[in-house]
Amino acid sequence: MFKALLIEKDDSGQRVSLSELDESQLPDGDVTVRVACSTLNYKDALAITGKGPVVRRFPMVPGIDFAGVVEHSDNAAFRAGDKVVLNGWGVGEVHWGGLAELARVKAEWLIPLEPALTPAQAMSIGTAGYTAMLCVMALERHGVTPDSGEVLVTGAAGGVGSVAVAVLAKLGYHVVAVTGRPEEADYLTGLGAKRILPRSDFSEPGKPLGREQWAGAVDVAGGRVLANVCASMKYRGVVAACGLAGGMDFPATVAPFILRGVTLTGIDSVMCPPAERREAWRRLGQDLDPSVLDAMTNRIALEDVIDVSERLIAGAVRGRVIVPLSDL
């Protein structure tokens, strides 16, 4: 038997409970992992609260990522005792996820845990931090360097934003952080942000083209925020878009793209090819100062996940939320 958060749905609606499950109930897969640590991401909170159509198969164990130790493997790529990490691949949406003491998944979804990281540190980074690194790699790939100019990070006090600020600052970029929580200014400057801007500067309808300001940007908001960010990019600036916290719409014009050569690059962490995700995790082990993880990480018990999900959706949680599940 093992503990798991379980989401069920029937004609009366959705229910979420902390349950005791039998190992025989685990879904198909060729690797069984004893989960050392999982996380609570924005997508998990949407699934748990039912405020977003994340879960596509019931019953479902949420949790889009986890780190742990292989207990049993029918695939030659892994053997018992291997430390592994999983991010995405529909886990927590169509396949049981990491908010449980055990998980059974496909071997091709796993990658080895970076030797420089503990399972708890890997989950302090989690899908949010891994996504942030994919954004940084995209800016680099499109030629944005520390000498190019200021780089903007929206939703900077959240999970993706916190890691993006910390990594970019360590790499020498001049980071400008956008947040709707002015009380987090000290936290963000501690991560390396040089300036803090209020979200209200970006949330109202703007001009098709604004003053050229940013060489690069990492956007987690979407919606009007993303439109205004694009409108104020420097010539040939690059925006890495990875979220929709501010909405799925994009009320913009083509002006930034055809008059300033702005690049808008989409970042998908769920189905990202294995080679690129391995590189992202290698870079995280190298380019993220482990000392900043404690400041951006909240630890909660599995039984507290449901309550904290509501606070996360309300934007009342700073940084990352991890859920330790064993002492591995």
Task: Say if pTM beats, i.e. exceeds, 0.85.
Answer: yes
Are residues 110 and 177 in contact, defined by beta-carbon separation less than 8 angstroms? no
Structure tokens at 197: 């801007």
Kind of pairing between the strands at 110-112 and 83-87: antiparallel
Structure tokens at 258: 């055809």
Domain boundaries, the chain: 2-113+293-324, 126-266
In angstroms, the CA 192 to CA 168 distance is: 8
In angstroms, the CA 316 to CA 295 distance is: 16
Say which residues have a Cβ less than 8 Å from residue 141's Cβ, sequence separation at least 6.
none
Structure tokens at 199: 């979200």
Give, rounded to a whole angstrom, the gap between the first and last alpha carbons of the chain. Answer: 18
pLDDT tens string, the chain, 328 residues long: the values are 999 999 999 988 899 999 999 999 999 999 999 999 999 998 999 999 999 899 999 999 999 999 999 999 999 999 999 999 999 999 999 999 999 999 999 999 999 999 999 999 999 999 999 999 999 999 999 999 999 999 999 999 988 999 999 999 999 999 999 999 999 999 999 999 999 999 999 999 999 999 999 999 999 999 999 999 999 999 999 999 999 888 899 999 999 999 999 999 999 999 999 999 999 999 999 999 888 888 889 999 999 999 999 999 988 888 899 999 987 5
User: Domain 2-113+293-324 carries which CATH code?
Assistant: 3.90.180.10
For 20, list phi and psi in degrees, rounded to 5. Answer: -100, 120
CATH class in words for 126-266: alpha beta
Q: For 119, how many CA atoms within 13 A lie in the half-sphere containing its CB? A: 25
